[in-house]
Structure formats: C-alpha cells, structure tokens
Chain A
Amino acid sequence: MSRAPDLRGAFLTAAGELGLCAASWLFLRAARAHGAAELEAMREVIAPSFPVFDAVVEAFERGSAGPSVDARAVLSAIDGATRVLLVGVEADHLDALVAAAPTCELALLTESALPADWSRVIANFGGRVRGVRLGDLHTFAGPRSVAMTFAYGVDHGTTYVVPEWLRAMGPDTRPHFRELLAWNVLPFPMRRYPRWLAEAPTATFTGVLP
C-alpha cells in the first residue's frame, strides 16, 4: 500500500504550521536519518507538489548543511520600529526574530492557503506574537510599523512570496507601513513551478534581506 497520500498530507500540515522551508528541512532530516534511498523516495512523493522541498533537497545534495538563520540584517532593517506585522510562517526564522527583537510588538497574519491551526501556531511563541486577521491589518498601521514576509528566492526582479502577501499589501495598506520587507529563506533556485507561492516584483519591497 502506498504511503504517498499520508506523506503528502503530513508535509502539508507541517508546511502550514512551520512554513514551507522549515518543514522541508525537518522532513529531509527525518528521511536522511534512514538513508539516501529513503530521502529519494520521499522526494519523489513530495517534490512534485512542493517545489520548496525539491529545492531544499537539491541544495542538500549539493552540500548545503541546513537553513542558516541570521536575524542581523532584519534587525537592522526594523531598527526603530515598534511593530512588525508578519505575513507567512517560517518557524526557525520567527523564533530567531522573537528572540532578537524583545521590545517589538509582533503580529502574524492568520490567513494561508496552507492548512493551519492558528491557535497552535500562535501558542508556539509564548505570548510574544498575536494573530491578526486580514480585516484587522489596520490595527498594526503606523509610522513605526513594518510589514514583513518571507521570500522563497529572488529571480530577475521577481520575488517569490506566499500569496497572502499580495492580499495583505494592496494599494490601501502599503502606505500604512514604514517598511515592506522580505526575508529570504530559500537562497537556492526552485526548479519546479512555484506552487503555493506568488510572484511579487522585487521593486515593491523596501528591502529583501538575506
């Protein structure tokens, strides 16, 4: 009996609550612990639906050791900000930001095409992050407010982001935030069509951070 649907479903759940990149590294390590053949079998099942996983495995096989989370560039970009609105989940990066920015008020948009139990996601941050709905984004508006999402690569003026960024940062909300940032969590190219992601012109961000 094929394990494929279960594996894809498990990855979908993990990606929704941890992020596409964080889930990719988690699953990669779990499979790799059982050998290269197990990882290759997992790749055949997951990669066609999740190009971020495919890119992470490709990078791993080319020698990448894992996600490198360095919040310094982000901290510099949000210097002086009192509020940071986050669009999209990447657990490793969010954990680093929460630890590194203890005085910032943080909110996470609780909307995603990926399934997520948002109360469980928010609970992971020990009270430092509150959930905010699409209709309540204006509660985070301000001259010291920053909106930030995660980028899954930058290619010829295009930045790949979760589609919720495009829903959230319309012409009405863009002027409500001092900075519009993308934190690049996937410094490797995707070889497959970027399912689950959307293209945003890089010029529409005030900064794309490594």
Chain B
Amino acid sequence: MPPHHPPHHPPHHPPHRDAPAGLDRERLADALATLLPDARDRAFITRCLLDEGPHHHRGASYALILLAARALSLADVDAVAPSSGTPVPMRVPPTRAADEVPVYPLAVPDSAVGRIAAGDAHLAGALAACLVDGPPHHALANAALVAMLDALIRALEARR
C-alpha cells in the first residue's frame, strides 16, 4: 500500500492587498489629537500608520483606531498621553544600549497593563514588551489602541 501523503496545502501567505482607497488621513490624525498634541508628532505617527508597512495593516489600524475614537467620543472621554508607560522603540540595529534606543512619541500606559497583570509587575512588563514589539506601524497601532481603551475603561470604572 503506498504511503499516505496528505493533500498538498500551499504555504500560507497573507494576501497582498492595496491599502483601501478612501482612508482619511485627517480623520485618523484627529482621532490621535489628544494622545499626540504636538502636530508634528501626530503627522509622524499618522504617516507610520497609514503610509508605512504592509497595506492590509494600514486599513486595519485605521479601522481599529477610529472605532476606539468613536467609543471615546460616545463616552465623552479624551485619551491623553500616559504619565508613565513603555514607549514604542525604533527598530534600529541592536548596537546601542537599551536606554539609548530612540523611541516614538507614543507609549503603552503602565495603567493598562497593570490592570491586566493585577499586581504582577513581571507580567505587566512582559505584556508591555509584547505590545511594543514588532515593526513600527504594528507597535504604534497597539500603543494607540491600548491607550485609548485604557482611557475608556478608566472613565467607565469611575462612573460605576
């Protein structure tokens, strides 16, 4: 009896898609306005989210951040830059000391990961490291989204 060969499945590759038409740069920048009050910082991060990285990520980040912004708007809450957090590092070759690696002007709030880790500082640090890991368009979308959700959760908790 011939050996059984499983049916051939082509390796998985994410489909290549163009960035969706109709992404409104100003709308995304407005959604980040309270997190990134400096206009140049905001333009920089908006570019990283909408013009850099894989095309499908641009649309995904746009959708997620605008949904979070809508939720914040309904709750009448502004997401502001965290007073303490883990900034998104630039992905430069690892020739510099960790404290010399340049960072983006956007951070994952300590309060967000602290809430999930429930007092486990090691876990909180590990979660923050996961969120800022990866290419900049990805990590920046993570940081923005987590900061926005954190602001929303804090506001809802305060109203209970």
Contact = CB atoms under 8 A, between A and B. Distances in A.
A115 to B, nearest CB: 29
B48 A175 contact: yes
Nearest to B93: A138
B90 A175 contact: yes
Given A138-B92, A142-B90, A175 B40 contact: no
Contacts of B58: none
Nearest to A143: B105
Instruction: Determine the interface band of chain B, counting residues with CB < 8 A from chain A.
Output: 10 to 19
Contacts, number: 38
Nearest to B49: A175
Interface string A157-196: 0000000000000011011101100000000000000000
A145 B90 CA distance: 12
Interface residues of A, number: 15
Interface core residue of B41, B43, B52, B102 (most chain A CB under 10 Å): B102
A141 B92 contact: yes
Interface of B: 40-41, 43-44, 47-48, 52-53, 90-93, 95, 102-105, 136-137
16 contacts: A80-B40, A141-B90, A141-B92, A142-B102, A143-B41, A143-B104, A145-B102, A171-B52, A172-B91, A174-B52, A175-B52, A175-B90, A176-B90, A179-B40, A206-B43, A206-B47
Given A138-B93, A143-B104, A175-B48, 17 more contacts: A79-B40, A80-B40, A141-B90, A142-B102, A143-B41, A143-B44, A143-B102, A143-B103, A143-B105, A145-B102, A174-B52, A175-B52, A175-B91, A175-B136, A176-B90, A178-B40, A206-B47
